[in-house]
Amino acid sequence: MMPIISRPEPKDFDAEVRRPGQSFLRHNPNPSTRDWNSNRYWKKAHNWMYSSYDGICAYSGEWIAKPASIDHFLPKNRHPYLAYEWSNYRLSSPRLNQYKDDYEGIVDPFTVKPGWFVLEFPSCLIRPGDGLSAKEKKIVEKTIRILRLNDDDDLVQNRCNMLVYYAKGDISLNFLRAKYPYLVSEITRQGLLDKIKAIFLPES
């Protein structure tokens, strides 16, 4: 996970999402799952979210193909008043959105600091950064566990694959920066831009 800058609310969001959502909640203050499924006005924000955040998943820091999904950072079942608020939405891959589910108490991509989620080489595993307070380390560890950032083999392998492709020259730094900004942020922060080939292709 890397810091994500919150993007401005689209001009039509209030009319298309917030107001109809608030009207629904006024008549259904304690919605059932069926009620929510019949009033998914946040789906109208999918394209806005995707374009606003350049298709980058807030939790993995990687580009995702459409259809992406919208995660309610604070779950709508416990925070219904935020169900139709732009500020509570995070662009997410469907897989990570499913992993997060209704968990609370993980790191918010809008407030995470550089170096909180350290990428290790060549394992491509993620660990809490050095110098974190005990509280910060605990929430980073919880986030890694809940989102399965190290437990989903496909996620880990994909990180490694992209770095190997870059080391081989199969993809450019510009491509990596556009599609895998978390990887670039980490190799840059750790001063490893010129060392990736040696790390992933030591016999070349």
> Average pLDDT in the 148-165 region?
97
> Average pLDDT in the 184-197 region?
95
Q: What is the DSSP string of 47-72?
A: HHHHHHTTTB-TTT-SB-PSS-EEEE
pLDDT band of 203, cuts 50, 70, 90 = confident
Token output for 78:
């416990």
> Average pLDDT in the 106-132 region?
97
Q: What percent of the chain has pLDDT over 70?
A: 100
Confidence check: pLDDT of 11 > 90 = yes
pLDDT in tens, 13-47: 999 999 999 999 999 999 999 999 999 999 999 99
Residues 6+ apart with CB under 8 A from 140: 107, 116, 117, 128, 129, 132
Q: What is the pLDDT of residue 204?
A: 59
Q: What is the pLDDT of residue 202?
A: 85
Confidence check: pLDDT of 5 > 90 = yes
Write down the mean pLDDT value for the chain. 96
Q: Where does the chain show beta strands of DSSP type E?
A: 69-72, 89-92, 117-119, 126-128
> Average pLDDT in the 121-139 region?
97
Whole-angstrom distance, CA of residue 128 vs CA of residue 174: 27
Q: 192 phi and psi, to 5 degrees?
A: -115, 10
Whole-angstrom distance, CA of residue 37 vs CA of residue 198: 51
> Average pLDDT in the 139-154 region?
98
Number of other CB atoms surrounding residue 170 within 10 Å? 10
> Average pLDDT in the 161-187 region?
97
Amino acid at 170: D
Q: 150 phi and psi, to 5 degrees?
A: -110, -15
> Average pLDDT in the 112-125 region?
97
DSSP structural state of residue 2: -
Whole-angstrom distance, CA of residue 36 vs CA of residue 24: 9
pTM above 0.85, yes or no: yes
pLDDT in tens, 41-70: 999 999 999 999 999 999 999 999 998 999
Whole-angstrom distance, CA of residue 83 vs CA of residue 35: 13
